[in-house]
Structure 1
Amino acid sequence: MILFLDYDGVLHPDAVYLERGRPVLRADGELLMWSRHLVDALASAPHVRIVLSTSWARELRFARARDYLPAELRPRVIGATWHSGMATDGEHRPLGRDTWWDTSTRYQQIRRYVDRAGLSQWIAVDDNPEGWCDADKHHLVQTDSMRGLSDSAAVQRLAELLESAR
């Protein structure tokens, strides 16, 4: 089972900006303040692995984005929908910000990963429902962008999906 994880609007409010290469939360609270809810939800699901579906993987690089997560979650992270190879034209020349990944919806990024990996069991936790096809909406735990996983309804939905996948 793969869990695609967004950060902004899920693990903290969607009010994060990069300042001098560092993410800064411009809302009450702190970065990843709701990650404990995810740790608790996954405690009884050791088979679940995480793929980062957050723009942090692009902006901060994979390892740095992963290392913001609590220690309990880091070993579960196996990849990201973004890979640095996507920033080249195939001949290792850097592209601008007009790559496929930059112009696609979060759903398209996740769906591409799902298709390439041949996944059948997966969940996405994200605050952005844009572009999700009806056939895949049952995989989505949609959070409110300002309440994220502090919303008990989102945590309950995640628990239901994790239980149904067992």
Structure 2
Amino acid sequence: MSPISSRPHASPNPLAFNLQTLGQLVRNKRASCDLNLLDAADSIGISRGILTRIENGKSVGTERLFKVLKDFGLVMLVMPNGEADVVLEALGHTVNWYDVMASQSPATKIGRRPSLTLDRTTPTLFVDYDGTLHAGHALIDTAGQITLDSGRALFEFVPLLVEMLEPYPSVEIVLTTSWLATLPEDKVISYLPAELARRVVGTTQGRKARFSYLRDGTGRTDIITSYAFGKRLLHWLAIDDSVYGADRFGYEPGELTANFVLLDSTRGISDEGAQQRIRDWLVEAHKDNCTQRGQTS
């Protein structure tokens, strides 16, 4: 239950990025007016319960919320992050948007989530095309013809992946390429050689990243993480030139960093460091998969 009164912060940061921080600003304003919950609610014309919910960061009807803000002399501004930075700095405050996003990420909510059993042990490799299996990014015209902005050959690094996976027939592939947004799934898969195409068990097509992750460039990472957790995958690795911010995902900060190989789009998997990470994962995943099978047989 919210306290009857509290000591106001002399100059609170006016940034409200969720209901909790908005509620804190309302509570601070009430305290600065030297009002307890009952007197404040009576003067505004709402119940003490509604005001308590707002101050505790709980959802209420928007009309009631704006009535409380208006009667407390508070206004809400909606603006892009870049403009908000300028306004906040003028008021003597700063904000780290990555920290704001991280505070709302799954990693900060572990206590609110049930434990997830990752019981699918088949090694799964999430594979992008552009900047991964070739250098550069594809340009797909209206006739479906594909060229690369780098001027390089399509899928020039595919033989490397075929060679790395050859000793591990159990490895499955899930495609993450943006080509899926333009071309039919079977067409996208058909560009792969048979050695890889037969491993494909799914794609991330149709999965949507949360807006906050789209905005800060980590949408691909969010989609892959969501797919992996949704399929209860235990052994998985994503090779992609767009998997930014991996340290922010998972139930604990940094938990999934090793599951993502962020590639240089000019080198893709031709990068020796990337190849070593893939090979190390294959060895470890194969060993763990064999162990798990032995325990259940």
The secondary structure found in structure 2 opposite 1:123 is strand
Q: In the alignment, is the contact (CA less than 8 A) between 2:134 and 2:154 conserved in 1? A: yes
Residue 163 to residue 37, structure 1, CA distance change in 2 (3 Å): same
RMSD in angstroms over aligned alpha carbons?
1.6
TM-score, normalization by structure 2: 0.48
CA shift at 1:101, angstroms? 4.4
Q: In the alignment, is the contact (CA less than 8 A) between 1:124 and 1:141 conserved in 2? A: yes
The counterpart of 1:32, out of the listed 155, 164, 179, is: 155
The counterpart of 2:264, out of the listed 144, 153, 156, is: 144
Q: In the alignment, is the contact (CA less than 8 A) between 1:82 and 1:101 conserved in 2? A: no
Instruction: State the AA in 1 paired with 2:257.
Output: K
Instruction: Report the structure, 1 or 2, having the larger strand content.
Output: 1
Counterparts of residues 94-113 of structure 1 (less than 5 Å): 100-101=208-209, 104=214, 105-113=219-227
CA offsets, 1:36-92, max 9 Å, x none? 111011011111000001111222121111111112100000110114xx6xxxxxx
1:59 aligns with 2:186: no
Cross-structure match for 1:72: 195
Cross-structure match for 2:283: 163
Cross-structure match for 1:13: 135
Q: Distance in 1 between matches of 2:210 and 2:137?
A: 19
Q: Percent identity?
A: 36
Instruction: State the AA in 2 paired with 1:3.
Output: L
Residue segments in structure 1 that go unaligned for 5+ positions in a row: 87-99
The secondary structure found in structure 2 opposite 1:57 is helix
Cross-structure match for 1:96: none
Residue segments in structure 2 that go unaligned for 5+ positions in a row: 1-122, 249-253, 287-297
Cross-structure match for 2:106: none
The secondary structure found in structure 1 opposite 2:195 is coil
Q: Distance in 1 between matches of 2:199 and 2:255?
A: 27
Q: Distance in 2 between matches of 1:101 and 1:108?
A: 6
Instruction: State the AA in 1 paired with 2:133.
Output: L
Judge which range, 7-16 or 73-82, deviates more: 7-16
Q: In the alignment, is the contact (CA less than 8 A) between 2:239 and 2:263 conserved in 1? A: yes
Q: Which has the higher contact order (CA 8 A, sep 6+)?
A: 1
Instruction: Report the structure, 1 or 2, having the larger helix content.
Output: 2
The secondary structure found in structure 2 opposite 1:24 is strand
Q: Distance in 2 between matches of 1:66 and 1:129?
A: 21
The secondary structure found in structure 2 opposite 1:72 is helix
Q: In the alignment, is the contact (CA less than 8 A) between 2:204 and 2:223 conserved in 1? A: yes
